[in-house]
């Protein structure tokens, strides 16, 4: 099965990611260090420590529109504070990121799970467990036109209402 990196490298036009949870993989050593007060770690923007940044830079450099929208509860969780702290590196690498307070998402039709939508044709739903960890069977891939349309319209609706990272203030 292709990895996320494989899918991004095969992408031609757009890679859209919608996140709707208030916490992910709290076992991440970077999150644990952040909770302990490590805020100025140069590794947060170092592509060697965060290979994701190189992958985004490579993908965006080919002209692919890489966008991430996050629906968050306010006041935000510690994990969302951590993500917000790390997002400067994502932006510098070429990813566009916006934040939507959950209260402003109430009237939107949203799929039940976070997802990636590649080139408006392929959806990868991500299934996290209750603790925000990824179990072995974490992905569900779909090219079903109804699923693709739901995800495309949901993402754009969120994106239109969301606040660009540079303007979003943590509540």
pLDDT attached to residue 49: 61
Helix H, strand E, coil C: the string for 106-125 is CCCCCCCCEEEEECCCEEEE
Q: Low-confidence residues of the chain, pLDDT below 50?
A: none
First to last CA, the chain: 39
Which tens digit of pLDDT belongs to each residue from 52-65? 899 999 999 999 99
pLDDT attached to residue 46: 53
Nearest residue to 115 via CA among 154, 162, 80, 82: 154
114 CB neighbour count, 10 Å cutoff: 18
22 CB-side CA count, 13 A: 9
pLDDT attached to residue 4: 93
Whole-prediction pTM value?
A: 0.92
Q: Domains for the chain: give ranges and CATH numbers.
A: 4-167 (3.30.870.10)
């Amino acid at each position: 099965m292709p990895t996320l990196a494989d899918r991004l490298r095969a992408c031609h036009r757009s890679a859209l990611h919608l996140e709707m949870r208030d916490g992910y993989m709290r076992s991440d050593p970077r999150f644990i260090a952040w909770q302990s007060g490590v805020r100025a770690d140069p590794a947060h923007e170092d592509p060697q420590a965060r290979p994701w940044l190189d992958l985004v830079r490579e993908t965006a450099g080919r002209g692919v529109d890489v966008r991430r929208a996050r629906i968050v509860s306010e006041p935000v969780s510690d994990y969302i504070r951590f993500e917000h702290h790390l997002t400067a590196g994502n932006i510098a690498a070429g990813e566009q990121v916006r934040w939507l307070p959950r209260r402003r998402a109430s009237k939107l039709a949203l799929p039940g799970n976070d997802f990636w939508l590649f080139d408006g044709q392929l959806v990868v739903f991500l299934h996290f467990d209750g603790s925000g960890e990824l179990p072995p069977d974490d992905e569900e891939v779909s090219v079903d036109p109804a699923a693709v349309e739901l995800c495309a319209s949901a993402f754009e609706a969120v994106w239109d209402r969301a606040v660009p990272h540079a303007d979003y203030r943590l509540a």
